Structure 1
Amino acid sequence: MIYYLVVAAIILFDQLIKYLVFSNMNVGQSLPVIGDIIRITYVQNQGAAFSMWEQQWIILIVLPAVVLVAALVLIYMKRNLWSRITILSIVFICGGGIGNFIDRVSRGYVVDMFDCRFIPSFDFPVFNVADIFICAGCGLLLLDVIFLEGKRAKK
Structure 2
Amino acid sequence: MPRKYVILLALTLGVIVLDQWTKYLVVRDLTTRFDGATTLGQRLGAMYTPAEAAGRYGLHFQPRRHVEVVDDFFRLRYAENPGAAWGMFRDLPPNVRGPLFHLVSLGAVLLIVFYFRKLTGTDPAEKWALWGLPLVLGGALGNYVDRVARAFVIDFLEAHWYDKAAWPSFNVADAAICIGVGMLVVDAFVRKEKPTSEPAKA
TM-score bucket of the superposed structures, by smaller chain: 0.7 to 0.9
Residue number in structure 1 paired with 2:120: 80
- Count residues with an aligned counterpart: 152
Structure 1 or 2: larger helix share?
1
Contact 2:74–2:158 at 8 Å: present in 1 too? Answer: yes
Residue number in structure 2 paired with 1:124: 167
How far, CA to CA, are the matches of 2:100 and 2:182 in structure 1? 22
Residue number in structure 1 paired with 2:70: 34
Q: Give the unaligned 5+ runs of structure 2.
A: 1-5, 32-61, 196-202
- Write out per-residue CA displacement over residues 119-138 of structure 1, whole angstroms, 9 at most, x where no aligned residue: 76222101000000100011
Residue number in structure 1 paired with 2:26: 21
How far, CA to CA, are the matches of 2:99 and 2:188 in structure 1? 30
Amino acid at match of 2:7: I
Task: Determine what percentage of the aligned residue pairs are the same residue.
Answer: 26
Larger CA deviation: 23-32 vs 129-138: 23-32
Which of the numbers 89, 108, 116 marks the counterpart of 1:67?
Answer: 108
Q: Give the unaligned 5+ runs of structure 1.
A: none
How far, CA to CA, are the matches of 1:149 and 1:70 in structure 2? 19
RMSD: 2.2
- Write out per-residue CA displacement over residues 73-117 of structure 1, whole angstroms, 9 at most, x where no aligned residue: 442x22316712112111110010000000011121100000111
How far, CA to CA, are the matches of 1:80 and 1:124 in structure 2? 38
Amino acid at match of 2:111: A
Question: Normalization by structure 1: what TM-score?
Answer: 0.87
- Which of these two proteins has the greater Rg computed from alpha carbons? 2
Residue number in structure 2 paired with 1:149: 191
Contact 1:53–1:59 at 8 Å: present in 2 too? Answer: no
